[in-house]
Amino acid sequence: MQKVIISVLGQDRPGIIAAVSRLLFELHSNIENVSQTSLQSAFAGIFIAVIPRTLAWVDLEARLAAVLGPMGLQAVVKPMEAGPELPPPPHEAFVITTRGPDRKGLVASITAVIAAHHGNITNCQAVFKGGSDPNANTMIYEVDVPAATDQQRFFAELKARGAELELQVSIQHRDIFEALSRI
């Protein structure tokens, strides 16, 4: 048995997950994880599956292309690399939110500060409808901040970068959202 990662990209339409999972089932493969998202009219899905040793991942990619091609979708298959043996370093999860007028380079600019302080983005949602209405242009990053990071310096730099970009930057520990939203 071997583990592979399959990514599927294209125009969103009904039946994509069903088509991929049906083929994997027919090929005696087992899906371990699936995640999909739709942005505007685009679809992106990631599958992690265990496939028989007798099935080469390049052959799987070809079989997927045959099924998904007519649907206007592309699939890429890669063998899954083993994850790191060591647990991730101690960290705290923060939610960083920005609101402000739209302009080019907002995501690049904010994520550069996050990367410089070794923050790991675990989830990111951004909507830019354009214009100057701050509520129409929002970025939300869930970020694991390593314990070794100087939080005060990190947050001060984020706020300063936000000010340069006319963005209102909010930084809160993730627990507050969990506490308020979930029972």
Partner 1 sequence: MLSSREIVSILDMLQSEHLDLRTVTLGINLLDCVDGQPAALCNKIRTKIRLLSRNLVSVCNRVGDKYGIPVVNKRIAVSPVALLGAPFTVPQMLEIAHTLDDTAAEVSVDFIGGFSALVEKGFARGDRTLIESIPQALAETERVCASVNVASTRAGINMDAVLLMGSTIKEAAQRSADRDGVACAKLCVFANIPQDIPFMAGAYLGIGEPDAVINVGVSGPGVVKKAIDRALEAQPGMDLGQISELIKRTAYKVTRVGELIGREVADQLGIEFGVVDLSLAPTPNVGDSVGEIFQSLGLLSIGVPGSTAALAMLNDAVKKGGAFASSHVGGLSGAFIPVSEDLNIAEAARLGYLSIEKLEAMTSVCSVGLDMVAIPGDTSAETIAAIMADEMAIGVINHKTTATRLIPVPGKSAGDKAFFGGLLGESTIMPVLNGQAANNFIVHGGRIPAPIHSLKN
Instruction: Say whether residue 180 binds partner 1 (CB under 8 A).
Output: yes
- With CB under 8 A as the contact rule, the residue among 44, 65, 140, 165 that binds partner 1 is 140
30 or 122: CB nearest partner 1 = 122
**Which neighbouring-strand residues pair with 97?**
140, 170
Whole-angstrom Cα distance, residue 28 to residue 31? 10
Instruction: Say whether residue 149 binds partner 1 (CB under 8 A).
Output: no
- Give the 3-state secondary structure percentages of the chain, helix then strand then coil, rounded to 5: 35, 40, 25
Q: How far is the CB of 24 from partner 1 (least distance, A)?
A: 24
Q: State which of positions 63-102 bind partner 1 (CB under 8 A).
A: 95, 97
At residue 106, the 3 state secondary structure works out as: helix
Instruction: Say whether residue 7 binds partner 1 (CB under 8 A).
Output: no
At residue 61, the 3 state secondary structure works out as: helix
Give the DSSP H/E element, type plus range, for residue 176. helix 174-181
- With CB under 8 A as the contact rule, the residue among 127, 156, 160, 163 that binds partner 1 is 127
Residues that bind partner 1 (CB under 8 A): 95, 97, 123, 125, 127, 135, 138, 140, 142, 170-181
